[in-house]
Structure 1
Amino acid sequence: MRTSGRSNSYETRWLRPWCRQCLCVATKEMASAVALVQGASRGLGLQFCRSLLQQRPGTHVIATCRDPQSAVELLSLKSANSDRLEIEKIDLAHPEGIQEVAEKVKQNGVKKLDLLINCAGMLHPSGKGETSLRDVTLEGLSATVTTNAFGPLLMAKHFAPLLTKGSGAYGSKSHQKQHSGIIVNVSARVGSISDNIGLGGWYSYRMSKTALNMATKNLSIELARGRSPVVCVSIHPGTVNTDLSRPYHRSVPKDKIFTPEYSAECILGIVDGLTMGDTGKFLAWDGQIIPH
């Protein structure tokens, strides 16, 4: 899954095969595919919904967010795709709602889930990462880890029964052991312990993403068992031009700041190639493996 360079590797490895060879086949195979995007009100999560609706004509999308009534762009997307997009309220700070939504979608006739993307993320409740120990608070640590690590794990817990009934509509069919569904946890390179050489800081965010990567690894082991295994991966989306990262763009080269459209397409391209051989991996937006 390794690639090198940005534009050329992406077009050669992901975009061109997807567009030229797979789109017609994928449309038929995924005529009844179901994808759930958690954290879909803005930024990368919203773009995942757009991309899935535009590029996967047969896919039904379930979008969840903390406050659907204020999610103006998501509601607009719903108006334009009323038969293929539904919106549900999930606030990761109130985890009982996750189970309620899981039961609700089952009652509404959803019998399987092919793709779960956990996208909601928080840098820190204040909007600024801690730069030293004096900035660390229990409140900040708890809120950040709840959103970035505990929430995705509980999403996996309550939606795993649907994922094990997935049709394998997403991912590659080339591996000997076929999968049912796929879980993608949107992580961050700063969650890599071995990559944290000299910068430090951002205690809550770094710790939460490291915890998310461990949760993904644990999930990959448990959900690989049985006749209906689920692929579980963490993916670093790059530095995306969203509210979370925008205050720190001055220290990032302009050609390393991605649009949500570009990042979402890269990640969905990776998803198209996933097999059970990839489960448990921590990947970058270009498919390269990031050490834990």
Structure 2
Amino acid sequence: MISSSSAVVIGASGGIGAAVAAALRASGRFAVVHALSRSGTGLDLEDEDAVAAAAAGVADGPAPTLVFVATGVLHHGKAPERSFRAMTADHLLRDYRVNTVGPALAAKHFLPLLPRDRPAAFAALSARVGSISDNRLGGWHSYRASKAGLNMILKNLAIELSRTHPLAVVAGLHPGTVATDLSAPFQKGVKPERLFTPAYSAERLLAVLDRLTPTDSGGVFAWDGTRIPG
């Protein structure tokens, strides 16, 4: 039976985002699945006015019980830095705007739409390399730092949201290595069984999210359900 709630997927034109939107539609759990993206609906997470307008549009329908932010940037003309000597302000700020500020603005405008009387979730794609304590190799300065910043934003959101939405969960999700444009230059050497299709990754991430409870809120979890240290 379709519920009276909706789901929102931000970044629904990307590989993982499109697969998440398709899986949510196929599940039949939501009255509406809003598939939002810059290319599809004009939602640019770097434009707060566009984010606010998108949230206002969602607010006209059933309340969302899931907001899934599937945006992110890794290379796109700027290869991850192997050394601190390769760092530039432009690269650092670009990754921070997309990977940290974008999801933060999405939270600012979409979290108020979550119902207070039933379970709900806000999730964003993070990455294992955003873990400070798990960093053994260094490098990838802009990407690592922007994902670490995202993880702190998610922790802050979880603390604040728990005061008004005790049944809600905020979580970062690490999808593993997925066969998308984002990971394309870095798939060499990945074992075939660890290179996931977008559909498989979406299935695993949604299964992990379904198992989380408010006591897990603020954490970052891998595709197999393991918690990633901060």
Verify same fold: TM over 0.5: yes
If the length of structure 2 is used for normalisation, what is the TM-score?
Answer: 0.94
> Structure 1 residues 284, 227: closer, same or farther in 2, change over 3 A?
closer
Change (3 A) 1:31 1:96: same
Answering whether residue 144 of structure 2 is matched by residue 193 of structure 1, we say no
Match of 2:20 among 41, 48, 62: 48
Question: Deviation at 1:273?
Answer: 1.5
How many residues are aligned here?
Answer: 230
Distance in 2, Cα, partners of 1:182 & 1:248: 31
Q: Tell me by how many angstroms 1:31 deviates.
A: 2.0
User: What whole-Å deviation, never above 9, does each CA across 1:214-266 have from its counterpart, x for those lacking one?
Assistant: 01100110000135542101111111111011111113222111111111001
2:88 pairs with 1:149: no
Instruction: Tell me the equivalent position of 1:238.
Output: 176
| Percent identity between the two aligned chains | 42
In 2, distance between residues paired with 1:261 and 1:254? 15
Q: Structure 2: how far apart are the matches of 1:268 and 1:220?
A: 19
* 3-state SS of 1:204 partner: helix
What secondary structure is seen at the aligned counterpart in 2 of 1:286? coil
Q: How far apart are the structure 1 equivalents of 2:28 and 2:205?
A: 14
Distance 2:132 2:34 in 1: 33
Instruction: Quote the Cα distance in structure 2 between the aligned partners of 1:263 and 1:167.
Output: 30
CA distance in 2, matches of 1:193, 1:59: 39
Encode CA deviations 1:66-115: one digit per residue, 9 max, x unaligned.
122xxxxxxxxxxxxxxxxxxx3211222221112112332xx2241100
The equivalent of 1:254 in structure 2 is 192
Q: Distance in 2 between matches of 1:228 and 1:276?
A: 7
Match of 1:4 in 2: none
Unaligned runs of 5+ in 2: none
Cα pair distance change 1:208/1:252, threshold 3 Å: same
The alignment's C-alpha RMSD in Å is 1.6
What residue number does 1:288 align with? 226
TM-score (norm 1): 0.75
> Is residue 128 of structure 1 aligned with residue 128 of structure 2?
no
TM-aligned CA deviation for residue 57 of structure 1? 5.2
Q: 1:57 to 1:183 in 2, by over 3 A?
A: closer
1:150-169 correspondence runs (5 A): 150-163=101-114, 165=115, 168=118
Q: Does 1:101 align with 2:54?
A: yes
Deviations 1:125-168 (A, max 9, x none): 424211122321111111111111111111011011111x2664
Secondary structure at 1:233 match in 2:
strand
In 2, Cα distance between the equivalents of 1:288 and 1:204?
25
C-alpha spacing 1:105/1:226, structure 2 compared with 1 (3 Å): closer
